[in-house]
Chain A
Amino acid sequence: MKSTHVTHRSLPVLAAMFAIAGCGGSSGSGDAALSGSIEIDGSSTVYLISEAVAEEFSLVHRDVRANVAFSGTGGGFKRFCAGETDISDASRPITDSERTLCAQNGIDFIELKVALDGVAVTVHPQNDFVQCMRVDELKRIWEPGSTIRRWSEVRPEWPAESIKLYGAGTNSGTFDYFTEAVMGESRASRPDYTASEDDNVLVQGVEGDRYALGYFGFAYYQENANRLKVVAVDAGGGCIEPTVETIESGTYAPLSRPLFIYVRTMSLARPEARAFMDFYLEHAGELARQVGYVPLGADEYQAGMSLVQRSASGS
């Protein structure tokens, strides 16, 4: 009897102590009382990392809501520069016009690299005639106004079956990146393909069509590697398949790229957002690898954390 009496009375006191400790702390590690919400939107490629971070973070900080959506890199920036999100996932750097938009709306931000990625070109697993494609072949297939309909029009020894094309939607950073890398001009693409910001839909498509050809983030290929066949890309230096090593070293060209997140400086003033950012950079390496991307070096993440620290303290 006595022990329960003591517990009941001391509970509110203990709770108050925790609350005070939580409110006062700013380093973000080990605080149990963080709450609030963080809005993240943008690239479906970077989504995989942000989603993983948000999920792991929420296991530690139950009361912080990290909402992650994937409207596409372009869509994410539009919302970010309108002040609707705290963090924008991007699979390509911010453009000048987006920078201007943010400046116009008074949104200050920092740019952080979080991982390296490749754009994987894939075909159906039972496709036995494609092992490697040259960049100019990809260009001929995908450029605006392309009239190529069949595999045999690309290389005569390939079957005369129609190519079913699957690719990133126009809001997607992968779209901007692929078109820039292959066509030489961002957003220049033929329009008659199955487009989706959701890379899962593209995986489903390529996996389901015998003569399909698709491009999407390397992580989505990795996740579904047993259901897809990847195509090696020859940029003039031989056929290189996308792997962690070739992406990290940059030999998988021209389709290796860095992945970014853009963080609003104002958001860093909130303790939960600050804690989230620290958590992100701390774990991005391991989570990126888990999800199928290539982590950066530890010093790059450290540099990122210093940048966050400097921005948060109002410089």
Chain B
Amino acid sequence: MAAETASFPGAAGLRRRKRTERVIARLLFVFSAVSILTTLGIVAVLLLESARFFADVSPFEFLTGTEWTPLFRPARFGVLPLLMGSVLIAGGAAIVALPLGLAAAIYLSEYAGDRTRAWLKPTLELLAGVPTVVYGYFALSFVTPIIRSILPGTSIFNAASASIVMGIMIIPMVSSLSEDAMRAVPQVLREGAYALGATKFEVAARTIVPAALSGILASFVLAVSRAIGETMIVTIAAGSTPALTLNPFTSVQTMTAYIAQTSFGEAPQGSVEYNTIFAVGLALFALTLAMNVISGMILRRYREAYE
């Protein structure tokens, strides 16, 4: 209005700057659209390509079948063995990571001095920074021989080795997020508990942890979701035999390993293998998305409101 027609010094410059402003605002909006497009892209690709798969194989068979032999005759397309492999390994990883991570979080939050925390916390974070392919190597070259020396019947590719290493990898996820949740608990609660005569242990275990429970649980769910979505450790160390089993000492195949191992030589478009990649990918995406959403819900719903 006034800016367009005014003639004070700098008026033309102002118009130009406002034009630039509008252009930049639009440009930034377009940049932001990329994130939305990414999600849409993932969903579209998975759905459209899986549709081809599901034209040949019924979703019911896919979701409930107990054999996964897409390339044999007779071909069976039940995803349950792959799902079981993922769950078995993620479960094993959780058994390792959840107690250790929570205990580490309690130590860092309630017991450790500032100096200890200064080196201990980054060291644990380093675990999260190691590339997963290196973890896979570690599982195959270090952990598997140890397991086989304890239990000689174990296959060279087995779920236990992958579980343990994956558990180690996700400890920092649990410990960092839980520790953040615990540090967010206001000091007054601690002081109140001490005032009532509680020991440090009781303060930690019976006051802080329950107060931070939503954050801790959310971290658990996120960590397990990460374990389910992990590819390289299982591809290298867990094997390529789909099996509906709870035995961690044999070779299993997870959803992620199937996708990776099938794609290792390029799968020609339109082939059965190509289509199964998308169907399994869709299942994987749905599962991890559900877990992430649940984790967010836990965080919001049960967060204790302080002051």
Show the binding face of A for B, using Cβ within 8 Å: 41, 69-72, 75, 78-79, 82, 144, 164, 169-171, 187-189, 191-198, 201, 204-205, 207-210
Cβ–Cβ < 8 Å partners of B71 in chain A: 169-171
Q: Does B157 contact A (CB under 8 A)?
A: yes
Q: Is the CB of B156 within 8 A of A204?
A: yes
CB distance from A65 to the nearest CB of B (A): 17
Interface class of chain B by DSSP:
loop
Q: Does B239 contact A (CB under 8 A)?
A: yes
A205 in contact with B156 given A41-B265, A75-B268, A194-B241 (CB within 8 Å): yes
Cβ–Cβ < 8 Å partners of A198 in chain B: 264
What would 7 more interface pairs be, CB under 8 Å, given A71-B265, A195-B240, A205-B157? A70-B265, A144-B73, A189-B72, A192-B241, A194-B240, A205-B156, A210-B152
CA distance A214 to B266 in the complex (A): 25
CA distance A144 to B71 in the complex (A): 13
CB distance from B166 to the nearest CB of A (A): 20
Can you list 7 pairs linking A and B with CB atoms under 8 Å apart?
A69-B265, A75-B268, A171-B71, A191-B72, A194-B241, A204-B157, A208-B148
Q: Is the CB of B267 within 8 A of A75?
A: yes
3 smallest beta-carbon distances between A and B, as pairs = A71-B265, A208-B156, A170-B71
Cβ–Cβ < 8 Å partners of B265 in chain A: 41, 69-72, 75, 171, 197
Within 8 A of A (CB), among B262-289: 264-268, 271, 273
CA distance A144 to B72 in the complex (A): 10
Q: Is the CB of A209 within 8 A of B73?
A: no
Cβ–Cβ < 8 Å partners of B273 in chain A: 171
CA distance A225 to B70 in the complex (A): 33
CB distance from A235 to the nearest CB of B (A): 25
Closest residue of chain B to A196 (Cβ to Cβ) is: B240
Cβ–Cβ < 8 Å partners of B264 in chain A: 71, 197-198
CB distance from A287 to the nearest CB of B (A): 22
Cβ–Cβ < 8 Å partners of A207 in chain B: 156
Closest residue of chain A to B69 (Cβ to Cβ) is: A191
Q: Is the CB of B152 within 8 A of A209?
A: no
Q: Is the CB of B240 within 8 A of A71?
A: no
Q: Is the CB of A79 within 8 A of B266?
A: yes
CA distance A45 to B85 in the complex (A): 30
Closest residue of chain A to B157 (Cβ to Cβ) is: A205
Closest residue of chain B to A162 (Cβ to Cβ) is: B153
Q: Does B251 contact A (CB under 8 A)?
A: yes
CB distance from B145 to the nearest CB of A (A): 9
Q: Does B132 contact A (CB under 8 A)?
A: no
Q: Is the CB of B251 within 8 A of A78?
A: no
Q: Does B66 contact A (CB under 8 A)?
A: no
- Most chain A C-beta atoms within 10 Å of own C-beta, residue among B148, B241, B261: B241
CA distance A196 to B156 in the complex (A): 15
Q: Is the CB of B239 within 8 A of A194?
A: yes
CA distance A193 to B240 in the complex (A): 9
CA distance A194 to B243 in the complex (A): 10
Cβ–Cβ < 8 Å partners of A191 in chain B: 67, 69, 72, 76
Cβ–Cβ < 8 Å partners of A69 in chain B: 265-266
Contact with A along B147-172 (1 / 0, CB 8 A): 01000110111000000000000000
CA distance A209 to B266 in the complex (A): 29
Closest residue of chain A to B272 (Cβ to Cβ) is: A170
Contact among B69, B155, B240 with A209 in the assembled complex (CB-CB below 8 Å): B155
Closest residue of chain B to A79 (Cβ to Cβ) is: B268
Closest residue of chain B to A161 (Cβ to Cβ) is: B153
CB distance from B70 to the nearest CB of A (A): 9
Cβ–Cβ < 8 Å partners of B267 in chain A: 71, 75
Q: Is the CB of B268 within 8 A of A78?
A: yes
Q: Is the CB of A193 within 8 A of B241?
A: yes
